[in-house]
Amino acid sequence: MYLSKVRLLSSAQAVKLISKFGHNGAYSAHQIIWQLFRHASERPFIYREEQDQATGRSLFYVLSTIRPQDETGVFDLQTKLFSPQLYNGQRLHFQLRVNPTICVTDVKGKRQRHDVLMHAKKQAGEVSAIALQETMDQAAQQWLCDENRLSQWGITFDNVPTIEGYTQHQSWKKSGAHVQFSSVNARGTLTLQDSERFLEQYAKGFGRAKAMGCGLMLIRPA
């Protein structure tokens, strides 16, 4: 795997790229990152977008199975091999932007996928803003702490993850198709129960909407 830190350069070419793909939410970032993988036939990456504190512009962390290539010359691209030496019982601090969803069966027996936090909001009814926020945060925490999910990921949490930054995203593809999803930021400390399983999941990303900036977990030793 390769881990890259990516910024757009201050150049006329970069401005042109932004004008071509910009102003379309998460799908714009998705298209911009794709410019580094023109040599790939299928999407080989997941990414996370942040704001560069120094410049106020977008900064991307990109995890990929192949090395990115800047054929356009509009990127400040820093890439390194990513092969962390992990072991069972190791503790890691983590940050994760994830798209939590659940399948709900309606009165007609039809299963539909719902945003976990919006579902919790609907179930809560008329409550205070503080109580509603607590309910939505708890719904996200319960989704993350599901035992089957954690077993699949090869981890346990040392504490209940902190939830912040809930965002609803809307974009439109070239075809006119509507892209709608939500994301929430979680951070905390985890312990590796199965380091091989964790690395396998890490390479694929966590949760859904991985093509739209969700699923890349940032980790460092605790």
Q: pLDDT tens digits for 187-200? A: 999 999 999 999 99
pLDDT at 107: 63
* Domains 2-81 and 91-221 are alike in CATH topology: yes
Using the CB atoms, write b or e for 121-144: b if 16+ within 10 Å: beeeeeeeeeeeeebbbebbbebb
Name residues whose C-beta falls within 8 Å of residue 153's C-beta, 6 or more positions apart in sequence: 197, 198, 201, 206
pLDDT band at 19 (very low <50, low <70, confident <90, very high): low
Q: What residues pair up with 114 in beta bridges, in sequence order?
A: 102
Distances (CA, A) of 92 to 50, 103, 165, 184: 21, 30, 21, 20
Query: pTM for this one?
Result: 0.86
pLDDT at 198: 97
Domain locations in the chain? 2-81, 91-221
CATH architecture classification, 91-221: 2-Layer Sandwich (3.30)
**Model confidence pLDDT, tens digit, residues 88-116:** 999 999 999 999 887 776 666 677 777 78
Q: Mean pLDDT for the chain? A: 87
**Model confidence pLDDT, tens digit, residues 114-153:** 778 777 777 777 777 788 888 888 888 999 999 999 999 9
pLDDT at 20: 67
Q: Lowest-confidence range among 25-29, 96-100, 168-172?
A: 168-172
pLDDT at 83: 92
What would the CATH number be for the domain defined by 2-81?
3.30.70.1200
Higher pLDDT pick, 183 / 53: 183
One-character DSSP codes across 190-220:
EEES-HHHHHHHHHH-SSS-GGGT--PEEEE
Between CA 174 and CA 20 the distance in angstroms is 12
Q: Which pairs with CB-CB distance under 8 Å and at least 24 residues apart come from 102-107?
A: 102/143
Q: Is 200 left (phi over 0), alpha (psi -120 to 50) or beta?
A: alpha
**Model confidence pLDDT, tens digit, residues 41-95:** 899 999 999 987 777 778 999 999 999 999 888 889 999 999 999 999 999 999 9
